[in-house]
C-alpha cells in the first residue's frame, strides 16, 4: 500500500524533506484547485495529516479521509482539531508541547515589559525627531515588583512565572485545579483579577475556556490593570475588551491572539495603550524548527511502530 499524507497549511523545506522521505506521496491542500474533487478522488488513500494550530482539520476533510490514522499538529494548542471524532475513529492526534514553552513565555514577558516601559511610544518619539524639538520623552512605569496573575499555570504558564522572578514579581494563579507550587491559588478568576496588576492568559482555547475573561474580569482588573493574552483569542471576550479599553475601565492590553485571526478589531489599531502581535508567540527560527522536527518525528515513529512521541491527552490511550 502506498503511504500518502495530506499537508494542511505550510511547512518548512526541512519538514518537506522529512515528509518526502517518509511518504510515497505528499498532497498539499494549498496547491489543490478544487477541494471537493480532490478529496473525493484522493481521500481514500490518505492515512496521515500534518496541520497547524490555526487550520486544524476541517470537518469536511476529516469526513473525506476514511482511512486516516494520524493527525500530526504543529503547535501545542489543538482546539482546531475535533478530538472527539478522532478518538471515536481511533485516529491519533499529536501536538508539540514543551519545545515552545520558553519562546511563548518570552513573548508574554516582553509584552508586559513593553507596556510598562512604553518602549513603542518612546521609539516612535526618537524616529519622529521629537527628542530634538520637545526634549526628553515622558517617563513610564516600572515593571518590577508587580503582582501577576497567571490564568492557566500549565507548561507555558509555569515558564512565564519562572521568568518573572527576575522582575521580583509576586505570582498568583487560577486554573480549575490547584497545583503543588508555592504560588497562591485563586479558585475565583474575578477575585484574582481584582488583586493583580497584570493578568496573563495562557489556557487552551476551545469551549471550556470560551470568553472566560469577560466584562466582570476586565472590570476587576481595572483602569491600572494590564491584560496579556498569548493563549487563544476565544478565551477573552474581544468586544468587551475593546469597550473596557475605550471606556478606561481597563488600562493596557498586550495581545498576540485574536478572536477571528487575522482580523484585528479596528478600534485597537489606534490605541496607544495596547501592543498587538500577529500570533507570533512561538515564531522564532529555533523554536519553529523544534516544533517542525517534532511534527515529523511523530509521523516517522507512527509509521515505524504505531506509537507516537507526544499524543494529545485525549489520544494517549490509542
Rule CB under 6 A: which residues touch ligand 8YV? 52-54, 74-77, 100, 279, 281-282
Decide: is 9 part of the binding site for ligand NAP (CB under 6 A): no
Q: Are 78 and 312 in contact, with CB atoms under 8 Å apart? A: yes
Q: Are 296 and 15 in contact, with CB atoms under 8 Å apart? A: yes
74, interface contact from ligand NAP, ligand 8YV, none, CB < 5-8 Å by kind: ligand 8YV
121 is catalytic: no
Give the pairing of strands 70-74 and 92-94: parallel
Q: Of the listed 95, 146, 174, 279, which one is catalytic?
A: 279
54, interface contact from ligand 8YV, ligand NAP, none, CB < 5-8 Å by kind: ligand 8YV
Q: Are 89 and 267 in contact, with CB atoms under 8 Å apart? A: no
Among 47, 94, 234, 282, binds ligand NAP (CB under 6 A): 282
118 is catalytic: no
232 is catalytic: yes
Q: Which is closer to ligand NAP, CB of 39 or CB of 92?
A: 92
Query: Whole-number minimum distance, CB 31 to ligand NAP, in Å?
Result: 26
What does each C-alpha distance from 175 to 146, 178, 179, 221 come to in angstroms? Answer: 20, 7, 9, 17
Q: Which of 53, 112, 119 is nearest to 255 (CA)?
A: 112
Q: Which is closer to ligand NAP, CB of 77 or CB of 292?
A: 77
Q: Of the listed 41, 134, 247, 261, which one is catalytic?
A: 261
Measured between alpha carbons, how far is 152 from 252 in angstroms, rounded to an integer?
Answer: 20
Decide: is 279 part of the binding site for ligand NAP (CB under 6 A): yes
Residue 298 neighbours by CB under 8 Å, 6+ apart:
70, 72, 94, 308, 309, 310
Measured between alpha carbons, how far is 254 from 256 in angstroms, rounded to an integer?
Answer: 7
Q: Which residues bind ligand NAP (CB under 6 A)?
A: 76-77, 97, 100, 104, 152-157, 175-177, 202-205, 208-209, 212, 230-232, 256-257, 279, 281-282
| Catalytic residue numbers, as ranges | 232, 261, 279
Amino acid at each position: 500500500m502506498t503511504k500518502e499524507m495530506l499537508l494542511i497549511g505550510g511547512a518548512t523545506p526541512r519538514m518537506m524533506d522529512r515528509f518526502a522521505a517518509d511518504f510515497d506521496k505528499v498532497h498539499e491542500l494549498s496547491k489543490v484547485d478544487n477541494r471537493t474533487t480532490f478529496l473525493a478522488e484522493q481521500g481514500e488513500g490518505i492515512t496521515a495529516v500534518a496541520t497547524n494550530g490555526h487550520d486544524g482539520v476541517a470537518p469536511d476533510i476529516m469526513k473525506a479521509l476514511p482511512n486516516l490514522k494520524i493527525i500530526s499538529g504543529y503547535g501545542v494548542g489543538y482546539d482546531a482539531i475535533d478530538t472527539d471524532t478522532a478518538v471515536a475513529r481511533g485516529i491519533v492526534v499529536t501536538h508539540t508541547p514543551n519545545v515552545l514553552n520558553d519562546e511563548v513565555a518570552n513573548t508574554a514577558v516582553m509584552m508586559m515589559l513593553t507596556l510598562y516601559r512604553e518602549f513603542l511610544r518612546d521609539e516612535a518619539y526618537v524616529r519622529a525627531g521629537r527628542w530634538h524639538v520637545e526634549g526628553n520623552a515622558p517617563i513610564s512605569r516600572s515593571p518590577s515588583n508587580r503582582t501577576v496573575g497567571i490564568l492557566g499555570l500549565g507548561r507555558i504558564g509555569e515558564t512565564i512565572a519562572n521568568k518573572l522572578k527576575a522582575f521580583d514579581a509576586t505570582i498568583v494563579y487560577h486554573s480549575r485545579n490547584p497545583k503543588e507550587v508555592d504560588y497562591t491559588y485563586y479558585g475565583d478568576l474575578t477575585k484574582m483579577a481584582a488583586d493583580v496588576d497584570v493578568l496573563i492568559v495562557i489556557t487552551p482555547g476551545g469551549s471550556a475556556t470560551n470568553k472566560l475573561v469577560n466584562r466582570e474580569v476586565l472590570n476587576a482588573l481595572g483602569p491600572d490593570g494590564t491584560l496579556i493574552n498569548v493563549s487563544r483569542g476565544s478565551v477573552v471576550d474581544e468586544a468587551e475588551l475593546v469597550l473596557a479599553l475605550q471606556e478606561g475601565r481597563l488600562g493596557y492590553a498586550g495581545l498576540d491572539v485574536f478572536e477571528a485571526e487575522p482580523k484585528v478589531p479596528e478600534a485597537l489599531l489606534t490605541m496607544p495603550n495596547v501592543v498587538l502581535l500577529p500570533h507570533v508567540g512561538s515564531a522564532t527560527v529555533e523554536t519553529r524548527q523544534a516544533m517542525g522536527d517534532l511534527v515529523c518525528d511523530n509521523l516517522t515513529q507512527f509509521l515505524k511502530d504505531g506509537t507516537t512521541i507526544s499524543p494529545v491527552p485525549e489520544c494517549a490511550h490509542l
